[in-house]
Structure 1
């Protein structure tokens, strides 16, 4: 894949060199930069497109996606709205809005963006599918069913639309029609992971574990979905509380595709099954991916839960070197330092409290750090507030 990208980059660079007004080549170079994690370079290229064509909605949408990749949701929303203003019928920025709002838990806003997309593109099955999916997330299940039925009627062979319709039917307790739709999708393409997953869990709910596992194994027989098949098999065994079998399935999947979600699932299966040193799989991952804060926090929490405070502290310290405002790391490290009578505890606890003053757990840590610093008078109202908000903290 890297070789093909290098070849494509050379071709696009040559095309742009020959014709500096070739905006498609410039956009594609930006897309390659983004794909390879060179976000700054990608942004420069996309903005260069806008310098030549200020109303280029494709470049605006690309800048929105770039902002999403960098966790800047406000910037992403700004670019997507600008793209819609420049090209009201262009679907991509509406989808961007829907994703940003959904990831932020603003499901009604996501639904409104989807409605705008349908209004701009009436009778478009992709727009109706986006609306139906947004309505599902917003809890408007009956409306979602209608939107998705319309999408499938207009484009009956698109697996995504029929799978989403099945999701709506499951939620609306129409399991027979849901199964029929999922079977249609899988019959047309046995590698449709989402459809297979939904049908497998329906079988599990019907107490047919062998049938569910058989579906997972059909994914394993195809190259593109092999890892997903092992992941699904593990998930089914986890749901059945067969921890050892789940771990074995995840480990098979990791041999096919070594990625973070499978590493985390393997860790969880090993932990539930009482394996010796289940955290070793997290350490192995971090040895190869040291800049993964989420996995490092998970490892730190494991150490903390198992009273290995020194090891936990070292992990939180590493997270804070890169992400100095991570609230979880600040609070938990402050708690450990307090237990060790380390004078650094108060500054960390105070920083966490300033970032999340309404959190009872963080207020509790800060309050006791103040007590340890002989500032009980300041600590008392904070501790009272924490106790009232969460009596079990």
Structure 2
């Protein structure tokens, strides 16, 4: 054995003994640290009390997030402080943290707080966790001095369980006990919002803010209702006012981010969602909003990744079903998409976008008849879009009925759409009448019956039902919309406009705006219609439907430069695949004298939809403006052949015939155009007709 080997052997015991010694010293160090940190000698009850006082002041100022941190500091300073644990639970309840609050309530009880004094808080924590029955049982034990709080929690639980009558009684009693309590009025406003009483919710939210201007929940609710009543832009200051009191309030940050995104302020939306993730790491709502943002930008891989980060906690919510169903369709996972979209349509049967996506999934699954059933209520509307009508046509082709398919393709190709009338009913009057008879004051039961009566041609009975529903539900915007729909069917557009305006005073959303604009236009009140559209766009600056109407009106009025700005903005968002949009751009650029750009857009529109008379017209008119009379003539002849009753197409073709010195043909088309009472260019056409002799 060599000396070096002996040397290594002799060193091993020495190293081992050194490591053992170091380990012992480390353990001693940890124990010493624990002694000094955790020993009762290190507790600081005075600091804990100061933190409790600070947290209470912050709660009073509406800053629950800061109060929670101060309460945590109090608990750390004195883990045995019952006051600190109880206050921490209160802050967590205000921030919607039910699980954490339940644990802190139990710690407060262990530290000496009488459980009889915390039943209302424990009920609140259970209700936040969705354990509504347990919450009700718990608040039944509430000490009389906290009865008002217990009534509020019972009302929330009953609302979640669908027992609205009991919930209403609890809130009415709470308001009698504490008529100047901002929390009570906030809960009343939230309840009324949930049951559709928008007018009552607005009044309650205003009362809550008047009583307690620092109440973040009240300010957030006010923002939601202002968003419903007036629009996105008007709501933002209310969310900002709430965040000025509690900058890290997660739920308010989510509402603020969603509103910013819908208003087109995507960078601000992203910043708000990131802050929400800091306030609540792993927030599924924040990841959902980021996924929506990614999907809108066309980054579907990122959208899927972000949607997966929600962890399945919000998968059954309508927005999430729509997003993930769309992503599944985009990826080709039809079966997954079917399940989600069917669930969404079941939740929201009047969601037209959901119905169209579900129909696409069904067609891909060779379930054409099911797709037709889903699309029927949409396709029967006068304002059914060309995409819906094309889907219906494809469905009829799949089942071998090519004649009906051709009719729907003709409707899809026709330039222009009908009015935004009532959503049609799926069931017979007998089926629809049963729930309406059982619940005559329930809008969800009566509305389908009224729509069924309209479809059956019994507009008199429908009007009586609709008027009764407005009388029974004066704060429900849907009641006024329904009344307006019936009046429109009867041709009473002026009266319908009045009903729609009453609905818009409560809920100024896209469907109500479209109806109001149409009714005002039909009633000859174009100025009011323009003001309504302008007001809606001021609050919803990136709304596609409103921007399309605005662009159309700009084209009709000859304001081509403004139309180009509007249409190019739409083109940036929608892309190149919309034939109607390309056709409108061709018309706008032709009107502005930019013939080459007009020709390019016209060619793109015609390539996408050669059977669409509007596309043929826009391309032909662009060629005419660029000097290609023969090419323009062929396209305009085709457009008129496809839509012979459209006076605008006749007018264009007449001008081309006149330019080519073919007066007889020009005269014939001018006379056909002038025979249409709705023809817009009557004056110019009469002048040209006079020149032709």
Q: Distance in 2 between matches of 1:305 and 1:203?
A: 37
Superimposed CA distance per residue, residues 286-318 of structure 1 (whole angstroms, 9 cap, x where no aligned partner)? 122221222111122234345555554443344
**Is 1:44 aligned with 2:294?**
no
Deviations 1:66-95 (A, max 9, x none): 2556xx67416x3453578xxxxxx54654
Aligned to 2:540: 289
Where does residue 262 of structure 1 map in the other structure? 512
For 1:327, the equivalent position in structure 2 comes to: 579
Partner of 2:551: 300
Residue 281 of structure 1 and its aligned partner are, at CA, apart by: 0.9
- Mark the CA change 1:363 to 1:270 in structure 2 (over 3 Å): closer, same or farther: same
Does residue 362 (structure 1) correspond to residue 622 (structure 2)? The answer is: no
Aligned partners of 2:253, 2:593: CA distance in 1, in Å? 58
Pick closer, same or farther for the CA change 1:297–1:96 going to 2, 3 Å.
same
Structure 1 pair 100–336 and aligned structure 2 pair: CA distance change class (3 A): closer
Task: Look up the SS of the partner of 2:508 in the other structure.
Answer: coil
Alignment partner of 1:253 out of 500, 503, 517: 503
The one-character-per-residue Cα deviations of 1:44-67 (angstroms, maximum 9, x if unpaired) are 3334579xx9xx9x69x9987325
Partner SS state of residue 237, structure 1: helix
* 1:142-179: CA deviation from partner (whole Å, max 9, x where unpaired): xxxxxxxxxxxxxxxxxxxxxxxx95542xxxx34542
1:126 match? none
Cross-structure match for 1:210: 464
Unaligned runs of 5+ in 1: 18-24, 85-90, 116-129, 141-165
Preserved CA contact (<8 Å) 1:238 1:246: yes
- Structure 1 distance, partners of 2:253, 2:587, is 52
State the shift of 1:282 in Å. Answer: 0.8
Partner of 1:316: 567
After superposition, the C-alpha distances for 1:106-128 in whole angstroms (9 at most, x for unaligned) are 5963896699xxxxxxxxxxxxx
Q: What is the aligned counterpart of 1:109 among 363, 371, 384?
A: 363
Superposed CA RMSD: 4.8
CA distance in 2, matches of 1:288, 1:167: 32
Paired residue total: 320
> Which residue of 2 is the match for residue 65 of structure 1?
322
Unaligned 5+ residue runs, structure 2?
Answer: 1-220, 222-238, 240-248, 255-272, 347-351, 378-391, 397-423, 650-693
Task: Confirm or deny: 8 A CA contact 2:560 2:589 kept in the other structure.
Answer: no
Which of these residues, 579, 583, 605, is aligned with residue 352 of structure 1? 605
What residue number does 1:198 align with?
448
Q: Secondary structure at the match of 1:364?
A: helix
Structure 1 residue 27: Cα displacement: 5.2
SS of equivalent residue, structure 1 residue 229? helix
Q: Summarize the Cα distance change of 1:73–1:298 in structure 2 as closer, same or farther, 3 Å threshold.
A: farther
**What corresponds to 2:215 in structure 1?**
none
> Larger relative CO (CA 8 A, sep 6+): 1 or 2?
2
**Could you report, residue by residue, the CA deviation over 1:17-61 in whole angstroms, capped at 9, with x for unpaired residues?**
6xxxxxxx6756544655x857577633334579xx9xx9x69x9
Are 1:349 and 1:365, in contact at CA under 8 Å, matched by a contact in 2?
yes
TM-score if structure 1 supplies the norm length? 0.62
Distance 1:316 1:133 in 2: 34
C-alpha distance in structure 1 between counterparts of 2:483 and 2:554, whole Å:
28
| 1:230/1:249 contact within 8 Å kept | yes
Contact 1:30 1:43 in 2 (8 A): no
Contact 1:218 1:229 (C-alpha < 8 Å) held by counterparts:
no
How far off is 1:256 after superposition? Answer: 1.5
2: CA distance between counterparts of 1:359 and 1:267? 26
Q: 1:16 to 1:201 in 2, by over 3 A?
A: closer
On the 8 A contact 2:484/2:500 being kept in 1, the answer is yes
* Structure 1 residue 214: Cα displacement: 0.8
3-state SS, counterpart of residue 220 of structure 1: coil
Corresponding residue of 1:163: none
Cα deviation 1:350-391 (Å, max 9, x = unaligned): 232233333232123213322433445655654554454444
Q: Which digits, 9 at most, give the CA deviation of each residue in 1:193-213, with x for residues without a partner?
A: xx3222234566152333331
